[in-house]
Chains A and B, each alone.
Chain A
């Protein structure tokens, strides 16, 4: 987990009960169903599946239940608060959002270990393929709610995105300053380890020769000195 604005926001959100997010999540799901019906058509085969979606940099998780009467997204305090999900997906919030919007490849996120999955892989793949195909754009979806105020809302969103990007860069600078001494020590240790490995390899190449000469010496009755 890396230092990010999301992680800091998580500390701020920690005291809030997850249930307070429910109206926003209900609105989000209703919006998704209206604007991306093709995604839910692809999910038809997963009638009763449920997913634990765990943004590892936030103090709560999301529970996505596809069962009737309609798909529902809710917030839960911890993974243990969701009973027997079909599958679990874990990763930093921004990774999960990029996957949702198709801006990041799921397999690549899995290879790099940014995304961890557990449980029913058929359900996971169906979900992944459905959302990847959907052309979801959270900003555009959100802006669609503003009707005639779309213009000002778009400008406000632009400012918010710029502030977030700035905060991300600043935090990276802070992180780099904090870890620089440790990284320096790690580099020194790595160099020492490499030297030791080279010495060991050198010794190994000499060993057989020593053994061979030792055997020859014994064969010829050489005295031990």
Chain B
């Protein structure tokens, strides 16, 4: 039996990545401006206004939509850059705005009521009451769910809310409730939720030693990878620390999310869209991952088994997990 395919929402950090995503079969490309108004504010990444205009034209000509993430929280007393980001995205013709800050949601609703508003994962809304509030107050039409819910919990949630849900399908495995995590801010003084970057590059150092590579974030040693061992990002949540004389991972080991094994279950749970993480990744990642998930989503929609995606080489630490979707209490 054929079912409506999940919408495939794909990342782009550069115009080259946007074209790669569109060409590989993305239904939607999400992106941000080149500043702190979005949660992937990495050096040299993201879009200028003219690049967004060109990207919109490229995508729309090929039947692909563009969502613009303005999903950090505006600095106290300085909402100007966030308001400009919302205005410019809406006026250039973005198909939806991805927002987290309630002040910005209110601004977008009043100034650009015709532009769809999606609730960013940064808002970390994961219960019916919170989601109903965002819908009734700000006209939010879709919620991106944090990566902390099981498939069963998502199904239960979908039965109680009046909006679409979008869930992460592949990429960075954030183990904390997004928008609430202060680990990176504690280590660096710069907040992912305000400045738009977790483990900012300005505070990251890699050192090649005799036995391997040491990664550091600010004053903290995050990990020491012996030669030949696959490496991971320099985030505190995936740090390997010595306790009681033994080195081990406190929260999570270096690994990436891969929900391809539960696509049918997510469809049955009422999920509307799948999000691939990785605006900071290169064109090669975008092209390969988007093409693989295009095949997977289409197979799931036909009711066929999802084929193996072969994306192991793209994963952090060269490992993958279904994360909280199949979580069992330990």
Footprint of B on A, CB under 8 Å?
42-43, 45, 98-99, 102-108, 110-113, 116-118, 121-130, 132-135
| Cβ proximity bits B279-300 to A, threshold 8 Å, 1 near / 0 not | 0111111001000000000000
Instruction: Determine whether B139 belongs to the interface, using a CB cutoff of 8 Å to chain A.
Output: no
- Within 8 Å CB of B280, what residues of A? 107, 125
Contact residues of B: prevailing secondary structure: mixed
Instruction: Determine whether B14 belongs to the interface, using a CB cutoff of 8 Å to chain A.
Output: yes
- Within 8 Å CB of B56, what residues of A? none
> Taking the nearest CB of chain A, how far is it from the CB of B98, in angstroms?
21
- Within 8 Å CB of A128, what residues of B? 44, 282
Instruction: Determine whether B230 belongs to the interface, using a CB cutoff of 8 Å to chain A.
Output: yes
> Taking the nearest CB of chain A, how far is it from the CB of B219, in angstroms?
16
Q: Give the residue of A111, A116, A135 whose beta carbon is less than 8 angstroms from that of B206.
A: A116
Instruction: Determine whether B208 belongs to the interface, using a CB cutoff of 8 Å to chain A.
Output: yes
| Cβ proximity bits B1-23 to A, threshold 8 Å, 1 near / 0 not | 00000000000011111000000
Contact A116 B213 (CB under 8 A): yes
> Taking the nearest CB of chain A, how far is it from the CB of B324, in angstroms?
22
Within B193-251, the residues touching A (CB, 8 Å) are 201-202, 204-208, 213, 225, 227-232
> Taking the nearest CB of chain A, how far is it from the CB of B120, in angstroms?
22
Known: A104-B284, A112-B230. A133 touches B201 (CB 8 A): no
Contact A111 B318 (CB under 8 A): yes
- Within 8 Å CB of A123, what residues of B? 43
Could you pull out 26 A-B pairs where Cβ atoms are within 8 angstroms?
A102-B282, A105-B314, A107-B280, A107-B281, A107-B316, A108-B284, A111-B230, A111-B315, A112-B230, A113-B213, A116-B206, A116-B213, A117-B206, A118-B208, A122-B202, A123-B43, A125-B42, A125-B44, A128-B282, A129-B13, A132-B17, A132-B283, A133-B15, A133-B16, A134-B16, A135-B16
Instruction: Determine whether B145 belongs to the interface, using a CB cutoff of 8 Å to chain A.
Output: no
Instruction: Determine whether B308 belongs to the interface, using a CB cutoff of 8 Å to chain A.
Output: no
> Taking the nearest CB of chain B, how far is it from the CB of A105, in angstroms?
4
Contact A126 B43 (CB under 8 A): yes
Known: A118-B206, A135-B16. A126 touches B44 (CB 8 A): yes
Instruction: Determine whether B313 belongs to the interface, using a CB cutoff of 8 Å to chain A.
Output: yes
Instruction: Determine whether B45 belongs to the interface, using a CB cutoff of 8 Å to chain A.
Output: yes
Contact B44 A130 (CB under 8 A): yes
